Amino acid sequence: MNKGKTKTQTKKHLSIVFIPHSSNHVKVFRFSSFYGKFFAAFLLTAILVTGTVLLLRQVTKENSKLKQSLTELYSANAEQRKILDEKSDEIAQMKQSNEAYKKTIDEKTSEIIAKFNEITDKYIANQSTTKTSRSGERAPTGFSNEIGTLKEMIDGMNSLTSRANLVTLDLSEANAKIDKFFETVPTLIPVNGEYNNGFGYRRDPFTRRKTFHEGIDFSADKGTSIKASAGGKVTLAGRNGGYGLTVIIDHGRGLSTLYAHASKLLVKEGQTVKKGDIIAKVGSTGRSTGPHLHFEVLLYNTPVNPNAYIDIS
C-alpha cells in the first residue's frame, strides 16, 4: 500500500508565453511566484522613486524661479522707496516754498485791499463835501463818468486776477461802499423822452426874456413814467407853485433832485425810494407849455447842471 509515502507538493509558477507572428515556435518562460512578486515590487518601487525624483526636481525649479522673482520684487520695492523718499523731500520743500509764497501774496493782497479801500473812502468823502459851481461841472466828462471809472477799476482788478489764476482781490468792502454811494448819486436819466432844454440862460417861452433855466427838460407823452434818478427820501410830493405837481428827493450829503409838471404823483412825503423807482407820471401842470419833465439837481439847495451827473448823450 502507499501509506508510508510523502505526498508530493505542487509548486506554483508564473509563465510568460511569447508567440511570434513569423514562426509557429512558441516560447514559454516560467518563473516561480516568489520571483514574480519580487520583480513586480521592484518595478513599482522604481516607478515611485523615479516619479518622486522628477517631482522634487520640478519643485526645486519652481522654488528657484519664485526666489528670483522675490529678489527682483525686493529690489524694485527698494528702488521705489528710494524714489518716494526723494520725492517726499521735494514735496516738503515745495510745500514750504508755496506756504511762504502764499503768505507773501496774502500780505500784498491785504495791502492792496486796504489801500484801495482808503482811496475809495477819500474819493467818496471828497465828492461828498466839494460844492460845485453854478455851472455844476466837476470834470469835463461829468461826475457819473468818474464814478463809472472807479467801478470799472474794481471790476477790472478782479477780472485780471481771476484770468491769471491768482488769488482774487477781495474788494467787496470797496464795492459795497461804491454801490451804496452810487445808489444816492443822480446818474439815472429820469424819463424816456426827448432832451430839448438845457441848463443855463435861455429865452423864457412866456415872457420872451432871457432868464436862467435851473434844470433840464425832457419832452414826453402825458402819463410816461418818471423814475427816481437816485435813491433817497421824498421831502416834497405835491403842488409847488409854477412847478405844478412836484416831487423832491433828498439823497443826502446836501444833494437832492426835483421832478416838476407831473400829471400824477405816486409817492408821499417821508417815503424812501430806490434809484429807478417810478415816482410820478409826466404831465403839464403848473407853468408849462406842454407835457414834459422839468428835472433839477440841487447841491445845498443851489441848482447845478444835471449834465455833470447824468450822461444825456
Flag whether pLDDT at 83 surpasses 50. Answer: yes
pLDDT at 135: 41
The amino acid at 112: I
Strand, helix or coil for residue 194: strand
Separation CA 198–CA 30 (nearest Å): 148
pLDDT at 158: 61
Helix residue ranges, H only, the chain: 33-129, 143-163, 172-183
DSSP type of residue 286: S
Flag the least confident range among 8-12, 60-64, 156-160, 266-270.
Answer: 8-12
Separation CA 170–CA 288 (nearest Å): 51
Once rounded to an integer, what is the mean pLDDT over residues 285-306? Answer: 90
pLDDT at 138: 42
Read off the pLDDT of residues 174-217 as tens digits, 9 standing for 90 and up.
Answer: 667 777 777 888 889 999 988 887 787 777 777 778 888 888 99
Residue with the bigger pLDDT between 306 and 87: it is 306
Once rounded to an integer, what is the mean pLDDT over residues 97-114? Answer: 64
Once rounded to an integer, what is the mean pLDDT over residues 94-104? Answer: 66
Read off the pLDDT of residues 21-34 as tens digits, 9 standing for 90 and up.
Answer: 666 666 666 666 66
Residue with the bigger pLDDT between 305 and 122: it is 305
DSSP type of residue 138: S
Please provide the average confidence, as pLDDT, over all residues in the chain. Answer: 75
Flag whether pLDDT at 166 surpasses 60. Answer: no
Flag whether pLDDT at 245 surpasses 90. Answer: yes
**CA 141 to chain CA centroid, nearest Å:** 35
Read off the pLDDT of residues 122-158 as tens digits, 9 standing for 90 and up.
Answer: 666 666 554 444 444 444 334 555 656 666 666 666 6
- Name the CA radius of gyration of the chain, rounded: 55
Three cell numbers, residue 202: 435861455
Q: How many CA atoms does the CB half-sphere of 309 hold within 13 Å?
A: 30
Flag whether pLDDT at 62 surpasses 60. Answer: yes
**CA 239 to chain CA centroid, nearest Å:** 52
pLDDT at 61: 77
pLDDT at 134: 40
Once rounded to an integer, what is the mean pLDDT over residues 295-306? Answer: 89
Cβ(150)–Cβ(124) below 8 Å:
no
Residue with the bigger pLDDT between 57 and 189: it is 189
Cβ-based neighbours of 103, under 8 Å, separated by 6 or more: none
pLDDT at 235: 97
Strand, helix or coil for residue 61: helix
Q: What are phi and psi of 243, to 5 degrees?
A: -80, -15
Q: Say if residue 282 is exposed, middle or buried (CB neighbours under 10 Å; 0-12, 13-18, 19+).
A: buried
Whole-Å CA distances, 233 to 184, 237, 241: 10, 11, 21
Beta bridge mates, 29:
16
Diameter over CA atoms, the chain: 192
Task: Name the range with the highest mean pLDDT among 36-40, 131-135, 208-212, 305-309.
Answer: 305-309
Separation CA 53–CA 248 (nearest Å): 116
pLDDT at 217: 92
Read off the pLDDT of residues 214-244 as tens digits, 9 standing for 90 and up.
Answer: 889 999 999 999 999 999 999 999 999 999 9
DSSP type of residue 114: H
pLDDT at 241: 92
- Domains assigned to the chain: 194-308 (2.70.70.10)
DSSP type of residue 289: S
Three cell numbers, residue 8: 508530493
pTM of the complete model: 0.54
Flag whether pLDDT at 94 surpasses 50. Answer: yes
Flag whether pLDDT at 247 surpasses 60. Answer: yes
